[in-house]
Chain A
Amino acid sequence: GAVVSQHPSWVICKSGTSVKIECRSLDFQATTMFWYRQFPKQSLMLMATSNEGSKATYEQGVEKDKFLINHASLTLSTLTVTSAHPEDSSFYICSAREGASGNTIYFGEGSWLTVV
C-alpha cells in the first residue's frame, strides 16, 4: 500500500527558532499534499494544500508567513514553522494524494512539535 512518511516524529525547539518537518511519499508520486494541525482529542484542522511546483493554498486564519510550505518535488513537501512560540506546540500531520487526481489520500505518522 501507499506509504507516507514524516520526519521528525518528535522535535523540541526553543522559542524564536524555526523548525522544519518533512513529508515524503515513499512509493508513489504525490502532486498534492496536505498539512494539518491537531490538538488533543480534536479533529484534524487543515492548514494548507501543497501543490508540487506552485505555491501552497492556505486555509483561512493560517499565517502563510509563519507556516512556510514548500513542495519542490513529487515526493516531498516540507512545513517550516518560523519563529516558533509555545502556542505553536501541536501535532502536525501531512497527507498525500496519489497521482494528480487520485481519489485516495494517505497520512503520515505525524510530528509532535514542542516549543519551549
Chain B
Amino acid sequence: GQQLNQSPQSMFIQEGEDVSMNCTSSSIFNTWLWYKQEPGEGPVLLIALYKAGELTSNGRLTAQFGITRKDSFLNISASIPSDVGIYFCAGQSPGNQFYFGTGTSLTVIP
C-alpha cells in the first residue's frame, strides 16, 4: 500500500537533546497517528490527532496535525535512552484508508 513520506529516516542524538520528525502527504488526511515500535514488539500508539491544527502532548512528546491536513510532526523533548526505537506516523484518508510512514529510527547516546 501507499506510504507516507517520513523524515528523517534515522537520528543519532545525545541524551537530553530534543528530537523532531515529520510526515507529509500529497493528499489530505482526517486523522494522524504516531506510534513507537521497540525491537521485537508491535507498535504502540503514542498520540492520536483528529483535527487540523490540533496540538497534543503526551509527557515529553508533542504532536501536531498540520493546518493543511497534509502533514504532521512529532517532537520529543529532553530525550532519554529509553526513547530509542522506531517511530511511525499513520494517516487516515477521507476514504477511510490508513497509510503508514516509513519510520524514523531513533538512537539516543547516553
Contact = CB atoms under 8 A, between A and B. Distances in A.
Given A91-B40, A101-B96, A46 B1 contact: yes
Contacts of A105: 33, 90, 98
A107 B40 contact: no
A1 B41 CA distance: 18
Contacts of B41: 109-110
Contacts of A106: 45
A59 interface: yes
Interface in A51-94: 59, 91, 93
Contacts of B103: 42-44
B45 A104 contact: yes
B33 A43 contact: no
Contacts of A42: 103
Interface string A4-20: 10100000000000000
A64 to B, nearest CB: 16
A110 B103 CA distance: 17
B43 A107 contact: yes
Given A101-B96, A104-B48, A105-B98, A41 B105 contact: yes
A116 B42 CA distance: 24
Contacts of B30: 103
Interface of B: 1, 3, 30-31, 33, 35, 40-45, 48, 50, 88, 90, 92, 96, 98, 100-103, 105
Interface of A: 1, 4, 6, 34, 41-44, 46, 59, 91, 93, 95, 97, 101, 103-110, 112
13 contacts: A6-B42, A43-B103, A95-B42, A97-B98, A101-B96, A103-B30, A103-B92, A104-B45, A105-B98, A106-B45, A107-B35, A109-B41, A110-B40
